[in-house]
Amino acid sequence: MAGYLFLLFTIVPAVELYILIKVGSYIGALNTITILIFTGILGAYLAKMQGLLVMQKMQNSLNKGQMPTNELIDAFMIFAGGILLLTPGFLTDVFGILLLFPLTRGLIKLLVKAKLKDMIKKGQIISFSSVNSTSSRNNGYNDIDI
């Protein structure tokens, strides 16, 4: 985990800075800043639109009495994509856009779900499940299956 944090907070910003300098030297600083501002605005708009669609799907699932697990994953990915697009840099913008478009988000979601299932099998994540109301124990409290 520490390796990922090191990568996230040191290597990624260094690569972003390098790309910004290179792009700025080719198209100019003002054009580079304009592109970054545009992608931030576009990202906020896309995140809002996709977020509203996912919220609507969540509401439909809840109205049917279903747990909106896929929609919750989508919501988290849209949130992450919006943050990445608001972060200045071209590399983060690419990843942010990939998380906002439903087609690419669906592919990434398959990878995330597979990774989560693997982590649960290895005991790296603890899952909680609901308990039957007939299995109440002492003093009317229910145990939580882990």
Q: Give one DSSP letter per residue of 47-88, joined into a string.
A: HHHHHHHHHHHHHHHHHTT---HHHHHHHHHHHHHHHHHHSS
Q: What pLDDT shows up at residue 26?
A: 95
Residue keyed to tokens 């919750």? 72
User: pLDDT in tens for each of the 146 residues of the chain?
Assistant: 677 788 788 888 899 999 999 999 999 999 999 999 998 898 889 999 999 999 999 999 999 998 888 899 999 999 999 999 888 899 999 999 999 999 999 999 999 889 888 888 887 776 665 555 444 445 555 555 55
Note the pLDDT of residue 1: 63
Q: What is the pLDDT of residue 133?
A: 46
Predicted pLDDT of residue 35 = 93
Cβ atoms of 8 and 62 closer than 8 Å: no
Residue 81 pairs with which residues in a beta bridge?
A: none
Q: Are 82 and 41 in contact (CB under 8 A)?
A: no
pLDDT of residue 130: 56
Question: Using CA atoms, how far apart are residues 42 and 40, in angstroms rounded to an integer?
Answer: 5
3-state DSSP percent of the chain in helix, strand and coil, to 5:
80, 0, 20
pTM (predicted TM-score): 0.75
